[in-house]
Structure 1
Amino acid sequence: MIPPLLAAAAAPGPTLADFGKDPLWISIIKAVFIFVFLMLGVLLGVWFERKLISRMQHRYGPNRAGKFGVLQSVADGLKMGLKEDITPRTVDKAVYILAPILVAVPAFLSFSVIPFGPVVSMFGVRTPLQLTDLPVAVLLVLAMASIGVYGIVLAGWASRSPYAILGGLRSSAQVVSYEIAMGLSFVAVFLYAGTLSTSEIVAKQATGGTVNLFGLTISTPSWFAVLLIPSLLIYVVTMLGETNRVPFDLPEGEGELVGGFHTEYSSSLKFAMFMLAEYVNVFTVSAISITLFFGGWRAPWPISIWDGANQGWWPMLWFFIKLVLVFAFFVWVRASLPRIRYDQLMNFGWKVLIPLNLGWILLVATMRALRVSENHGAVVYTVAALVVVGVIVLVWRFTSVADKAAEEKKARVEEEFTRLREEPTAGGFPVPPLDLPHYHGAARKEVPSGSN
């Protein structure tokens, strides 16, 4: 006999109608589970990242604390929690203390709309494996990410340090540019799913559909990662920029900013909250990518052939495996790519990602409109494709012209500096006399005796 806690529900997946009916104690259990999962995930994630990068660099990594060094993250967390908290005298103390909280709390709240599995029976109560869901759940994640950047900016401003302020300003500019591209990469998913609810987006990826193209009926895959691969590729780039990870970790450019926005935070509990929020944000954007593009908690093929793969508590296992693989991608990118320049970062966000997103959304919206109206004219598809190609060509042309202008300006500046070095008086500024010994001797004669 299957215990009530592990009894699977008959429903294949939750809908919005299944939320808001849980008893308070069930909601508390799910909230505590998410909190514990994220805290343990950060501890294991730090160890996993250090271990994987070390093996890529032919090193051992952590191997002293515990078996395979797995307790090293626990030791580091205890050290930061018990270390003396030093607060500089010139900081704005209220904002200085509030900033880490503004970074950490929204990171945890974003995970409340992530679906872990279908409807199950938990202690005799039928409940979805998701804390809550909203008709605009994905927008909640974007809103929480926007609030989190306030903590970074305020941390730099409250520190009263030029390097910390530069890090905070860099982060705000980076998030504005890459969060726009991230939001636009979701639009194609919304158009195909017809909803902004995370649970219903997962349900839409349960089975594939059909598209009529030039009179031919073509079967579409169930995962949006295959059907909407441009949106996925753009989102992969933006999630690296959103989480300030390599190659987009400019707010924490150690070689330029001595640590970035948290320069004035000692390695204590406040600093630990910044690091905690960074890793939780990595888990959040990874979970969003799984939910929107990789079928959510549903089992991949060929596991999905098994009838019980998407029932009961098994879907949590598939979700965790996908989460580990996406996190491993973050680590692989960090170990492989160097940090780019800040002007390259901003140019790529505003001049490449956003125009490509707009062209792709136009094509997807056209295809969806044709599918609804059952008008499958080849002319409209051709026009939409030409529009996308035109946007790409314009972006390339604009970027090349801007780069050429920057190179010409750099050449002019170098030429001017060369001319000034060869002819010091060319700039029109007064030049001190070159007969310095005679000048200093005359000056000494004019100084009264006994003066300093």
Structure 2
Amino acid sequence: MNILNENLILFTTIINLIIFIIPILISVALLTLLERKTLGYIQLRKGPNLIGPLGLLQPFADGLKLFIKENFKPSNSTPIFFLLAPPLFFFIAVLLWSTAPILNSSINLTLSLLFIITFSSLSVYAILGAGWSSNSKYALLGAIRAVAQAISYEVSFGLIILPLIIIVGSWGLFSFSSLQNNNIWIIIPCFPLFIMWFISTLAETNRTPFDLAEGESELVSGYNVEYAGAPFALFFIGEYANIIFINLISVILFLGSYNSLNLISHINILIIITKTLILIFSFLWIRASFPRIRYDQLMNLMWKNFLPLTIAFLVLYFVIIAILNASPPAY
């Protein structure tokens, strides 16, 4: 009987995991189609329109092609790190989604923002491991670029979040939802922070004009250049899942949300998805509009512009909140 119960628990866990991952995979597939369609129309062409109605089956055909494609590895690579890097990158991307406060199945962590910052930074190990273990100068250079870029902009992430924590008084994402339900959106008093946050999300997700880790003209795809088939697809899926997730977090932090523990409805979730899609579309619009910047410009933007600005805003908002809390209540 105990063995039967253990097998039943294991089977239930696997089913729940599949149910949790499938919406993420479908979202990534539709995002790739949206990106190709958007770029196509901006460049005065159609984009995918042959496979399925309006090209809706194109991303699924691409995914099938990648997963049945022959897999290989360089003969002089380090096998363990080379094989483990893609699943690790994908696992971290999926793990972050477990804290998103949009469904009842989400984990209500008291320190969910700290959890997100901590675990998102672990993806640099997968990227560095992929680039180093490939034993290719292009892959290694792309990995070093990606790690330096990620570390730099995680500094701005932390310093931008701290004033928000002071305003809200909690590290939990559900607290941000509750506060903005009863008051104004945080983007209104913190608009400069939102602009820096949005630019930092572009850099953190390696999106144009900050896609220097994957610069095709210099690095032939960067840290994942030696990967093919399913491992390459895992990097691809993880990257696009991070794009959707970071924009969802932007909506929760700045653009208002709903306390999903108390207010689950299709309308509320639709509003959150609409706001997230608007931010995602802005990512695509920026990709179609701006050229890739130089690497020294990327670093100067962080260390010489964002760092002093975020520290100044941190002090400013801390002083404002301290004065408001010290003032006597109005009767």
**TM-score scaled by structure 2?**
0.92
Q: Please point out which of 287, 297, 316 is paired with 1:344.
A: 297
Residue 370 of structure 1 corresponds to: 323
Query: Counterpart of 2:27?
Result: 41
Answer whether contact 1:166 1:261 (CA < 8 A) is retained: yes
Say whether residues 1:316 and 2:269 are aligned partners.
yes
Check conservation: 1:113, 1:130, Cα contact below 8 A: no
> CA 1:29–1:43 in structure 2 vs 1: closer, same or farther (change >3 Å)?
same
Q: For 1:34-73, what aligned pairs fall within 5 Å after superposition?
A: 34-73=20-59
Q: Deviations over 1:365-424 (max 9, x none)?
A: 000000111179xxxxxxxxxxxxxxxxxxxxxxxxxxxxxxxxxxxxxxxxxxxxxxxx
- Which of structures 1 and 2 has the larger relative contact order (alpha carbons within 8 angstroms, sep 6+)? 2
Matched residue, 1:223: 185
Amino acid at match of 2:121: S
Q: Secondary structure at the match of 1:227?
A: coil
What are the within-5 Å matches in structure 2 for residues 130-279 of structure 1?
130-208=105-183, 222-266=184-228, 268-279=229-240
State which of 65, 71, 79 in structure 2 corresponds to 1:79.
65
1:280 partner letter: A
2:259 and 2:27 mapped to 1: Cα distance?
A: 21
Contact 1:27 1:131 in 2 (8 A): no
Paired residues of 1:175 and 1:241 also in contact (CA < 8 A): yes
Which among 56, 63, 74 is matched to residue 88 of structure 1? 74
Q: Relative to structure 1, is the Cα distance of residues 290 and 168 closer, same or farther in structure 2, using a 3 angstrom cutoff?
A: same
Cα deviation for residue 312 of structure 1 reads 3.1
Q: Distance in 1 between matches of 2:59 and 2:69?
A: 15
Contact in 1 for aligned 2:86/2:126 (Cα 8 Å): yes
* AA in 1 matched with 2:176: I
Question: Do the aligned partners of residues 172 and 372 (structure 1) sit closer, same or farther apart at CA in structure 2, a change above 3 Å counting?
Answer: same
Percent identity, please: 35
Whole-Å separation in 1 of the counterparts to 2:178 and 2:224: 41
Q: Report if aligned partners of 2:24, 2:241 keep a CA contact under 8 Å in 1.
A: yes
Q: Confirm or deny: 8 A CA contact 1:298 1:319 kept in the other structure.
A: no
SS in 1 for 2:102: coil
What is the Cα deviation at residue 91 of structure 1? Answer: 0.4
Note the C-alpha offset of 1:32: 4.3
1:28 CA displacement: 7.6
Aligned mates of 1:360, 1:77 — CA distance in 2: 44
Distance 1:325 1:24, change over 3 A: farther
List alignment gaps of at least 5 residues for structure 1. Answer: 1-22, 118-128, 209-221, 300-309, 377-452
Amino acid at match of 1:242: E
1:29–1:78 Cα change, 3 Å: closer
More helix by share: 2
Distance apart, 1:31 and its partner CA: 5.0
Q: How many residues align?
A: 320
Q: Residue 92 of structure 2 aligns with which residue?
A: 106
Which structure would you say has the larger Rg?
1
Offset at 1:34?
3.5
Could you tell me how far 1:338 is from its partner in structure 2?
0.6
Contact 2:181–2:258 (CA under 8 A) maintained in structure 1: no
User: Quick check: 1:179–1:242 contact (8 Å CA) kept in 2?
Assistant: yes
1:350-379 deviation digits (Å, cap 9, x = unpaired): 110111000001100000000111179xxx
Deviation sequence 1:301-353 (CA, Å, 0-9, x none): xxxxxxxxx55332111111122111111111111111000000001011101
Letter in 1 for 2:44: H
Which residue identity is paired with 1:141? I
Match for 1:281 among 219, 242, 245? 242
The residue matched to 1:205 in structure 2 has which SS? helix
Aligned alpha-carbon RMSD (Å): 2.2
User: 2:276 corresponds to which letter in structure 1?
Assistant: L
SS of the aligned residue for 1:113 comes to: coil
- Using the size of structure 1 for normalisation, the TM-score is 0.68
1 CA distance for matches of 2:155 and 2:234? 26
User: Alpha-carbon deviation of 1:176?
Assistant: 0.8
**Superposed displacement of residue 43, structure 1:** 0.6
